[in-house]
Amino acid sequence: MSPSAEQWAAAVAAVRSAGPGDEILLICHVNPDGDALGSMLGFGLGLRRLGFTNIRATFPGDFTVPGPYQDLPGRDLLVPEEDAWSDPRLVLIFDVAGESRLGALVDRLGAPRSVVLDHHASNTGFGEVRLVDPRAAATSVVAEQLLERLGVPLDAEIAECLYVALATDTGSFKFDMTTVAVHELAARLIATGIQPGEISRRIFDSKPFGAMKLTGEVLGRAVLDPAAAGGRGMVWTYATLGDLERHAQPAYVLDTLIDPVRSVAEADVSVVVKQTGEKEWSVSLRSKGAVDVSGVAVAQGGGGHRLAAGFTGHGEAADVVDTVRRLLDDYLN
């Protein structure tokens, strides 16, 4: 269900309840992607245009902004979680499917006013005002609609942030969610003068040599399991902290590794298991349509969308893959 007229009105009222100098905190999910950062910073710039002066934006955990997003407009709003307002008047939350994705910042949900902007069908329902639209291709779609209702016109800086968010979450306008409305929004964003070719090169087509070599190694060990997922096939691979260290790469370079893996024609389901700690793994799941992988992710305490989801796995990489295989069989039986 898309947000109701009452919910939109409540969100506008929550933002307008803040005075110009009140502390406003924007939060997106741990290990932020293009939609998390783009929707948050684009909205933050919009608040600045409305005259708010004490805006900070943050995310929990390691304060590493992935290389492709380091030059986003509004990056001056970004602070590490230690510097987030501890007692903000208003909190806005972007692209966060569940409270576990807020880490230690979850206590900011106790702020006098809070608004959640999201598009995950698996959203667990937290926060005071919830603008959760599972039909939106990205959280930036929701953010743009709220900006419009607040009377903030699009400019090139806001548009670049929202465009990066839209382009990343639609896989460069390739996924099923890429509707007429998505292209109409993209057209309005491009009309501000932003350069889609330059932006795409920066966020999709640029990576360090070491990241390319690491990708080659991790893809080289991929396994095709044709019997998995009820015979629809599963392809999987894994990457360890040792792999990252050997190639001197930050963890975020593995975020896009799922893309070549999910292109394997013989498998409906693709899995990339990325080590984050001792016996701890960040698991990415994709389906071409036969399986609702968000069901698997939710069963493991994670979340996501029907065809793209994730969770935190424990044990050895092979154990995590076995768990996925078993849950897929349960799902299909």
Cα(208)–Cα(252) distance, integer angstroms: 12
Tell me if 144 contacts Mn ion by CB under 5 A.
no
Residue nearest to ligand AMP (CB): 310
The correct pick among 81, 95, 157, 255 for binding Mn ion (CB under 5 A) is: 95
Are the beta carbons of 53 and 21 closer than 8 angstroms?
A: yes
Q: How far is the CB of 12 from ligand AMP (least distance, A)?
A: 26
Q: How far is the CB of 289 from ligand AMP (least distance, A)?
A: 16
Which residue in 167, 218, 160 sits closest to 190, CA to CA?
Answer: 160
305 binds, among ligand AMP, Mn ion, none (CB under 5 to 8 A by kind): ligand AMP
Write the CA distances from 91 to 12, 34, 86, integer angstroms: 13, 20, 11
Count interface residues toward Mn ion (CB under 5 A).
Answer: 6
Whichever of 58 and 284 has its CB closer to ligand AMP, that residue is 284
Residues 6+ apart with CB under 8 A from 132: 3, 116, 117, 118, 119, 120, 123, 125, 142
Nearer CB in complex with Mn ion: 30/317: 30
- Segment contacting Mn ion (CB under 5 A): 132-140, 218-226, 247-255, 275-283? 132-140
H or E segment to which residue 69 belongs: none
- Shortest Å distance, C-beta 235 to ligand AMP: 15
* Angstrom distance (rounded) from CA 38 to CA 158: 9
CB of 207 to ligand AMP, least distance (A): 16
Q: Binding to Mn ion (CB under 5 A): which residues in 25-84? A: 33, 35-36
| Helix (H) or strand (E) segment spanning residue 25 | strand 23-28
Segment contacting Mn ion by CB under 5 A, of 17-25, 164-172, 196-204, 234-242 = 164-172
Region of 74-82, 137-145, 153-161, 176-184 interacting with Mn ion (CB under 5 A):
137-145
- Window 224-243: contact mask with Mn ion (x via CB under 5 A): --------------------
The answer to whether 83 touches 56, Cβ cutoff 8 Å, is yes
Site residues for ligand AMP per CB under 6 A: 97-98, 101, 120, 258, 284, 302-305, 308-312
CB of 143 vs Mn ion, minimal distance in Å: 11
Strand runs (DSSP E) across 135-277, as ranges? 223-225, 234-239, 269-277
The residue among 97 and 203 lying less far from ligand AMP, judged by its C-beta, is 97
Minimum CB distance to ligand AMP smaller for 90 or for 258: 258
Which single residue brings its beta carbon nearest to Mn ion?
A: 35
Cα 246–Cα 248–Cα 251 angle in degrees, nearest 5: 100
Of these partners, ligand AMP, Mn ion, none, which one is at the site of residue 309 (CB under 5 to 8 Å by kind)? Answer: ligand AMP
- Secondary structure tally for the chain: helices H, strands E: 11, 11
- CA nearest neighbour of 153 among 50, 52, 57, 55: 50
Cα–Cα distance for residue pair 217/213, rounded to 1 Å: 6
Measured from the CB of residue 248, what is the shortest distance to Mn ion in angstroms? 26
The side-by-side arrangement of strands in the sheet containing 303-304 is 223-225, 234-239, 269-277, 280-287, 308-314, 303-304
Which residues are near Mn ion by CB under 5 A? 33, 35-36, 95, 139, 169
